[in-house]
Structure 1
Amino acid sequence: MEPLERYEPIVDDFDAFRAACERPLPTAVRVNTIEATVERAKRALEADGVEWTDREWSDEVLSVDTDSPGSTWASFHGWIHGQEEVSAIPATVLAPEPGERVWDACAAPGSKTTQLAALMDDEGLVVANDNNLGRLSALRFNTERLGVTNTVVVNSDARHFSLKPFDADERNASGSEARSQNFDAFDKALVDVPCSCEGTIRKNPTVLDEWTMDHVRSVAGVQKGILRRAVQATREGGTVVYSTCTFAPEENEAVLDHVLDAEDCHLVEFDVDLDSRPGVTEWDGERYDDSVRKARRFYPHHNDTGGFFCAKLEVDA
């Protein structure tokens, strides 16, 4: 059985799903509101002869008719950032406020990190962590290019992340001083974990060539550890958003089920005005907590996007 065929029992109109997975992915960008207004970015794209289309669910996300948005003047000035449309969902759902303390557990290459900073008006603190030292250069580059100044870049295994004060001698990705910090927990955490990446097949057609169940099971174990640490590092009443770009319940609902049982947290409803389906409560002989229905599955044939999974948790008081 091909990897995608295993999902036929949980995907409506499976033929449309397969057909969508075989089509190229439309190009999308996110307007960087730290450096420009949406209208200014649109005018810059028009001046370059690039047509754009609004995406109704987000004022900052645009569909563009170019395969190389990075070569536009709007990108050169840091006014836009090439970002897959569904990749903009987690930060939108987390909805950080200016002045809050936010942990981005698996941050590189920085698309979601810089989106978090923009939603916070570049105020407060974003701790952008990644365990892959080689990917930190891309994370730092993107924060600098997009004018982010509230972000500290950290190299750590998120499963064992140590929450400690960030003092005024710490330097963020753009070189400016970080504010003195003394806190016991983050207000919010974004957990966009490494995964089997099945949902990226429209932009990475070879992603399934080396797909194995052993890899799915292995990465699911890592995901559970990262999400548990995020809940532990977030204050009571705080918010944690968990996301993947895979269809596998082993990496999605099963991870949530594990963490709901192990940590003091619960799932909450959310809506981003995109067509989606609820999380599945049964898979391959396993039964998950009924509340995983509050998670959302985004399939390629529903919104002409990549595949995605997103869940919102609140830490219990």
Structure 2
Amino acid sequence: MALYGAAAAVLEALERGEGGLKALVYNSRFPHVRQLYALVSETLRYAAVLEKVLSGAGLLQAEKKLSPQLAKVLVYDLLFGKGLKCGGRWKALARRHRARLQAELARLKVQQKVSRNEELLSPAQAASPAASQVPRYVRVNTLKTCVDDVIDFFKRQGYSYLGKAGSVEELRALSGKKFLLDLHLPELLVFPPQTDFHDNLLYTSGHIILQDKASCLPAFLLSPAPGSHVIDACAAPGNKTSHLAAILKNKGQIFAFDMDTKRLATMNTLLMRAGVTGFQLAQQDFLTVDPTEPRYSKVTYILLDPSCSGSGMLSRVPGQEAAVGAQRLRALAAFQRRALAHALRFPALRRLVYSTCSLHREENEDVVWAVLQESGSAFRLVDAFPAWPCRGLAAFPGAESCLRASPADTLTHGFFVAVLEPCGEGAAVPSSLPAAAEEKPQCGEGTEPGAAPKKRKRKKQRVKE
């Protein structure tokens, strides 16, 4: 299915109430889910503006074959996006009306006394999917390359490297073709908001991963030692799994679970492109996994990022957050408590990270506290990453050991992370967590055995940009 047709189908399904945006995108048959997700999100953000432009230009009256959803997608990409770089006959149809559509957009700007497209949006819409203040984060995939080589590559593409950031304000001030090394995570580069790398050679070859900074925290804080056996309990779409593999240096075993066949297929493609080995994907509900099975006897690390309301995601559909009512939150929290309690039953467990992209206390601190109480004195919260500025809500004694993230405070999506370890002899060494952020990995670390840094660098330089 072509991009514009797939986007229109997702919009129609959303209007019929058939599911959330992310689920509908991943359940579509479109091969490039990120591209589809971005197009649908931005079309939704500009929906009110697009309706005015369509009405004023009379496009739906002139082209009876166009559905309202397809018309919105086409006009968004024509006026606000990439200018209809694909689309076949639909592209030709929309371009026939380009002058009328552009004239109607210009009339709206004059009417509202604004000069930029973004200024046509309401404050809520402007802060929605691609919030203008949140930078583009690029995680260097150390399974294929290293930070220094990626920095050199971007320099050759005309970007100016400003060194390691010293504060969040430096990230906020980024503009043009400038970038920084993140102040907290050693393999994360930071570019101005909405910088697009989907067509960049480093992205298409799997050398970089486009992943929000907050989403990098769970694997970073789990910090499994190379050679470890790790479970990624709710794994798709796979960015956190590939991050785990990079930390493991592809030495060890990752068991990744997800219920959806299509999401697993997409995840498999992502992991193969990223050069991940030593992983087993299973279409299975994590709650049905038997912790006493011999194959899991060596599992010492678990990453649990369960289904949640997604209230922290900036790419949510405008108004969708309000639809997450108390009953839905109770159901999600009950599932999350069961999943966390189940994960703590694995006998060799040394460290577990629980994370959500939710802002709700019910899915975060309340879940962690309830499970800790059920476990008695068997597990404890680790004071994870003391340098991180935003801590857990004061929901129980010690909740400040948890981490929170937000667009305003950390320039990321909204996120919650808690690190749990067994008390007593089974505990991991907690001092290993913050130490990982101190130094940037040198070239050659995390690469495949025998891949000498100089040899790999010469090969990389032969790639034409």
Larger radius of gyration: 2
Mapped partners of 1:273, 1:138: distance in 2 = 35
Of Structure 1 and Structure 2, the greater helix share is in 2
What percent identity do the matched residue pairs reach? 28
1:164 shift after superposition:
6.7
Q: Conserved in 1, the CA contact under 8 Å of 2:336 and 2:367? A: yes
For residues 57-106 of structure 1, the C-alpha deviation after alignment (integer angstroms, 9 at most, x for no partner) is 01211112454222111112211011011100011110011000110101
For residues 118-154 of structure 1, the C-alpha deviation after alignment (integer angstroms, 9 at most, x for no partner) is 0011100111111222210121011100000021111
SS in 1 for 2:312: helix
2:333 is aligned with 1:220: yes
1:277 shift after superposition:
2.3
Mapped partners of 1:234, 1:63: distance in 2 = 39
Q: Conserved in 1, the CA contact under 8 Å of 2:233 and 2:303? A: yes
Find 1:45's aligned residue among 131, 150, 154.
Answer: 154
Q: Which amino acid aligns with 1:315?
A: P
SS in 2 for 1:149: coil
Q: Which amino acid aligns with 1:38?
A: V
Find 1:147's aligned residue among 272, 275, 285.
Answer: 275
* 1:57-136 alignment runs, 5 A limit: 57-65=184-192, 66-136=194-264
Of Structure 1 and Structure 2, the greater strand share is in 1
1:163 shift after superposition:
4.0
Which deviates the most, 33-42 or 262-271? 262-271
Mapped partners of 1:72, 1:82: distance in 2 = 11
Instruction: Give 4+ residue runs of structure 1 displaced > 4 Å after superposition.
Output: 18-22
Q: Which amino acid aligns with 1:276?
A: C
SS in 1 for 2:404: strand
Mapped partners of 2:209, 2:242: distance in 1 = 9
1:182 shift after superposition:
4.8
Q: Which amino acid aligns with 1:53?
A: L
Q: Which amino acid aligns with 2:136?
A: T
Mapped partners of 2:125, 2:414: distance in 1 = 13
SS in 1 for 2:186: strand
Aligned length: 276
2:138 is aligned with 1:26: no
Mapped partners of 1:141, 1:213: distance in 2 = 37
Structure 1 unaligned spans of 5+: 1-17, 166-180, 282-287
* 1:1-317 alignment runs, 5 A limit: 23-24=131-132, 25-49=134-158, 51=177, 52-65=179-192, 66-163=194-291, 182-200=295-313, 202-206=314-318, 207-235=320-348, 238-263=350-375, 264-271=378-385, 273-281=387-395, 288=396, 290-317=397-424
Q: Conserved in 2, the CA contact under 8 Å of 1:100 and 1:125? A: yes
1:178 aligned partner: none
SS in 2 for 1:250: helix
Mapped partners of 1:295, 1:215: distance in 2 = 24
Q: Which amino acid aligns with 2:336?
A: Q
2:169 aligned partner: none
Mapped partners of 1:125, 1:99: distance in 2 = 7
Q: Conserved in 2, the CA contact under 8 Å of 1:249 and 1:280? A: no
SS in 2 for 1:216: helix
Q: Cα gap change, 1:220/1:38 in structure 2, threshold over 3 Å: closer, same or farther?
A: same
Q: Which amino acid aligns with 2:202?
A: A
Q: Which amino acid aligns with 1:26?
A: P
Mapped partners of 1:28, 1:249: distance in 2 = 26
Mapped partners of 1:212, 1:128: distance in 2 = 30
SS in 2 for 1:58: coil
Q: Conserved in 1, the CA contact under 8 Å of 2:302 and 2:343? A: yes
Which deviates the most, 70-79 or 31-40? 70-79
Name the Cα RMSD after superposition: 2.2
For residues 187-210 of structure 1, the C-alpha deviation after alignment (integer angstroms, 9 at most, x for no partner) is 11001111111111x233524253
